[in-house]
A and B are shown apart, each in its own frame.
Chain A
Amino acid sequence: MLKGLIGKKIGMTQIFDERGAAVPVTLIEAGPCYVTQVRRPEKDGYSAVQLGFVEVNPKRLTSGEWGHLKAANLPPLRYLREFRVKSPDVAVGDKVTVEAFSVGERVDVVGTSKGKGFQGGVKRHHFAGGPKTHGQSDRWRAPGSNSSNTDPGRVYKGSRRAGHMGAQRVTVQNLKVVLVDPERNLIGVRGAVPGPKGGLILIKEARKQ
């Protein structure tokens, strides 16, 4: 069975496990997703399954997207995402629901983190900043020295500086599935998931079990 789903983050809450302990949970409204295309090594050079999520008015799609879906006799779908699978055992048109996952399983969750805008080194890279007292001024949140001296005489590329933070693709690995509700298409994972409420979320089988 294909282990992959596209979903929407609903928010966080807590539930109680069988021992009565409160468990932090992120709820994701996931699926039902349609298999919209199967990539095969012979034809595409790699194997993967393309899933589609959220039925929309076809006017919302480009004619290319709509044509791609119409050719496979599928409804108009807003989001199309590929999941790498070794040997796809599904066909175009198949539905994938939260029942693909079961409680207790480990999953990797992919989302787009909240954008933080242009941020300094203290927030972005956990720099310590400068001393706040002992005659210092204007140095509280300064990044400190950039580099060395005459040798190498330049700043290495890729060194950590202030800059744009967040709004990146982030994967959280090995989250435990604590709740599956096929009736409401809900899946709950233990702990936090990147992105804002309503953000697009991909759920996959955990790579490192």
Chain B
Amino acid sequence: MNDLLKAIEMPPNPNIPELRPGDTVNVFLRIMEGGRERIQEFRGTVIRLREGGNEASFTVRRIASNGIGVERTFLMRSPRIEKVVVERRARVRRAKLYFLRERTGKAARLKEKFE
């Protein structure tokens, strides 16, 4: 990337720890609602990490009610993210966990990794 483009990069959000694919995370998102601010949680599995300075992002997948999968992509440097808590790490062998989309229930489990 061009040096001048790099120069206006935002500092990384200090409340986001280092994430890995397969992590079960809880994302606390600041939401403006009618002039009032509140915190919304989004809990799920990190299935994708993307690099790219200010455009870096990660995608979290969770199963909402009725077994419907919901994916949400967050920008790594977004000041709207209050914090991210890693609750569990899993042993995975690939960088993008798109195969989870075709799986439900027991088949969609990931083996936990203990450090």
Contact = CB atoms under 8 A, between A and B. Distances in A.
A11 B78 contact: no
Given A19-B32, A20-B79, A186 B2 contact: no
Given A29-B4, A184-B4, A15 B78 contact: no
B53 A13 contact: yes
Contacts of B8: 13, 15, 27, 179, 181, 186, 188
Contacts of A20: 30, 78-80
A22 B75 contact: yes
Interface residues of B, number: 17
Interface residues of A, number: 17
A57 to B, nearest CB: 23
A186 B3 CA distance: 12
A98 to B, nearest CB: 13
A19 to B, nearest CB: 7
Interface string A142-160: 0000000000000000000
B5 interface: yes
Interface of B: 2, 4-5, 7-10, 30, 32, 53-55, 75, 77-80
